Amino acid sequence: MAPLGDRILVRPREADAKSAGGVLLSTSAASMQDALVGTVVAVGDEVELGVAAGDAVLYSKYGSSDIEGPDGVVSFVAQKSVMAKLS
């Protein structure tokens, strides 16, 4: 798959099963997060953010569309929904 326009194809990271303090988290706790972290798979032609395949990004779940592909779940994220490039 290749994103068009200002879209970025991102593979979301798996949600943590435990908190940093060792508390077990329910599956609904991960779904309540407004921001997600993922790895960029591909970038559309009109993206001007300076992100490339392999970069880790923080993005809004409300500005993305999840698709079940042959290699698992991927998200098409609007350029304006990317909040940060992680180092």
70: domain CATH number is 2.30.33
Confirm whether 62 is domain-assigned.
yes
**Amino acid symbol at 17:** A
Report how many domains make up the chain.
1
Minimal CA–CA distance to 8: which of 87, 72, 84?
A: 84
Q: State residue 71's pLDDT score.
A: 87
Is 72 inside a domain boundary? Answer: yes
Q: Is residue 26 part of a domain?
A: no
Contact (Cβ atoms closer than 8 angstroms) between residue 53 and residue 41: yes
What's the pLDDT score for residue 69? 86
Residue 39 resides in a domain: yes
The pTM score is: 0.80
25 within some domain: no
Residue ranges making up the domain that contains 38? 7-14+32-86
Model pLDDT, residue 57: 97
Residue 1: inside a domain, yes or no?
no
